[in-house]
Amino acid sequence: MASLRDIKGRITSTKKTKQITKAMQMVSASKLNRAEQNAKKFVPYSEKIQEVVASIAQGGGDASHPMLEARDVKKTGYLVITSDRGLAGAFNSSVLRKVYQQIRSNHTSAEEYTLITIGRIGRDFFRKRNMPVDMDITGISDQPDFSDIKDIASDTVQLYTDERIDQLYIYYNHYVSAITQEVTEKKILPLTDFNKEGKASQSSYEYEPNQEEILEVLLPQYAESLIYGALLDSKASEHAARMTAMKSATDNADDLIGDLTLSYNRARQAAITQEITEIVGGAAALE
């Protein structure tokens, strides 16, 4: 049996760990509130630009653009959003597992795909497996601005424009609630199904100078906005996952402290009983 000193030491260290996890839980809860608001505020812009693009692309005119046209797939791009830090439960592992399985099932050679990663965890995961990471970015703030990812977003879209990739998928954790996050796969390019989830536009637009010139400017912005919106969604999911993980760790620490305290009291009672027995035995021997 462990000594009283050992048990007391474990109780002390567990209490210190509990203080850390409790503080991290509260910090993540505070960040989650802001991140959730950021994600919600971005939705009206995303829906409106989708409506305008859909109206132009499906307006029955002669407007066309390479980003709207599917082509033979020779190389696929995967944009994967993870976090820079761990201690977030299955937040990172679930999305990385999904991407890894998709790549293994869809490709037989590293020449058939490339990876763009946002977050250190994802970058390190793929590099350790010698998988081709074309671009990566780390150090994104907890409340990101579009300027934080503008370069990688525009460069990713440029990969498609330059025909270095023929389609682009994005993988991230979609925020459902504080306790639920869903791994989401979304096709970003080509933009052949952007209006499937939205309502048909009830607005009519007049285009100046013409539809093709507008698409030339608007489509890259729309694709970049999809990436930014996914990042905001992922950040809310990250804070929620970390808050839940730290709450679970705090609860487990409470349970462990209770078990250790019970063990300590039993060991202390046994030690006292042993001492009393020795005293009584010694007194009896002197009589």
What are the structural domains, with CATH classification, of the chain?
4-25+246-286 (1.10.287.80), 26-244 (3.40.1380.10)
User: Helices marked H in the chain — which ranges?
Assistant: 4-57, 91-106, 120-128, 146-161, 211-286
Helix (H) or strand (E) holding 181: strand 180-189
Walk along the chain (287 residues) in steps of 10 and give the mean pLDDT of each run.
Answer: 83 94 94 92 88 74 74 93 92 95 92 94 95 93 90 91 92 93 92 58 65 82 92 95 94 94 88 81 74
Which residue, 73, 58, 68, 79, is CA-closest to 106?
73
Please tell me the pTM assigned to this model. Answer: 0.86
Q: For position 125, what pLDDT does the model report?
A: 96
Cβ distance 260 to 195 under 8 Å?
Answer: no
Which residue, 201, 169, 231, 175, is CA-closest to 47?
201
Q: How many CB atoms lie within 10 A of CB 115?
A: 23
Cβ distance 24 to 242 under 8 Å?
Answer: yes
Radius of gyration of the chain (CA): 28
Q: For position 203, what pLDDT does the model report?
A: 60
136 forms beta bridges with 117
Which residue, 99, 155, 143, 147, is CA-closest to 122?
99
CA distances 168 to 41, 66, 269, Å, are 25, 14, 66
Q: For position 212, what pLDDT does the model report?
A: 77
E strands present in 57-148 = 76-81, 113-118, 133-137
Query: Amino acid identity, residue 116?
Result: I
| Distance in angstroms (rounded) separating the CA atoms of residues 262 and 245 | 26
Q: For position 198, what pLDDT does the model report?
A: 46
